[in-house]
Amino acid sequence: MIELFYYPTPNGRKISIMLEELHLDYQIKRIDITKNEQFSEYFSKISPLNKIPVIKYNEDVVIESGEILIYLAKKNNFKFYDPKYEKEINEWLMIQVSFVGPMLGQLHFFHKFNPGKSEFAENRFLDLGKKIYSYLDVRLSKFKFLACDDYTIADIATFPWLCRHEWHDIGIKNFKNLYRWYLNIAQRPAVIKGYDPENLGEKIPL
């Protein structure tokens, strides 16, 4: 049985969605980051940077969401990680972990949770958020999914960040290719299940 150290954030949901897509049995180990449980002695031994997600898969402990997605895909016959598109999948996965997640994460901190604390930071991350929506929209005007015309781990990594679109106030519906991609992924049964693996009644915002 796979153990998923998880909290319902975009990074956590990437992995619950992947596990659902692969039809794997897994057990959620909730690490409540709002209560600083990530800093407990127990979890510090598992996660060197005190971050979720982490998986335990037999003898392996795997950290970092991008690597966890690659690891799970490789263990499962390269599902959602077709070697034919490895370069493009890695590119868009790296774009997610190095840019989309960190910048939208800062937008959440300043625009959603601390408005009025720093006009400079709010404007900077709102501007970067708009750029991200625009870059993704252009890419999705050329391909059905981010890396190619197939659904891959690059989409699985990026989708949960766009699920916070109501927090961003950028207007996802104005980005026609991005919104088409978003609605397509949002209706996948594994995504709906993986978005709320604890059955808390959380729904993907459309």
Ligand X SMILES: N[C@@H](CCC(=O)N[C@@H](CS)C(=O)NCC(=O)O)C(=O)O
Binding site for ligand X (CB under 6 A): 9, 11, 33, 38, 50-53, 64-66, 97
Alpha carbons 155 and 133: distance in angstroms, whole number: 14
Nearer to ligand X, 40 or 174 (CB): 40
Q: How far is the CB of 97 from ligand X (least distance, A)?
A: 5
Q: What DSSP element (H or E) covers 69? A: helix 65-75
Nearer to ligand X, 17 or 175 (CB): 17
Residues 6 or more apart whose CB falls under 8 angstroms from that of 151 comprise 80, 145, 185
CA dihedral defined by 204, 80, 184, 21, rounded to 10 degrees? -40
State the CB neighbour count (10 A cutoff) for residue 56: 17
Nearer to ligand X, 68 or 186 (CB): 68
Nearer to ligand X, 53 or 197 (CB): 53
Q: How far is the CB of 176 from ligand X (least distance, A)?
A: 28
- Pick the closest to residue 2 from 73, 49, 72, 66 (CA basis): 72
Q: How far is the CB of 11 from ligand X (least distance, A)?
A: 4
Alpha carbons 44 and 36: distance in angstroms, whole number: 11
Q: How far is the CB of 9 from ligand X (least distance, A)?
A: 4
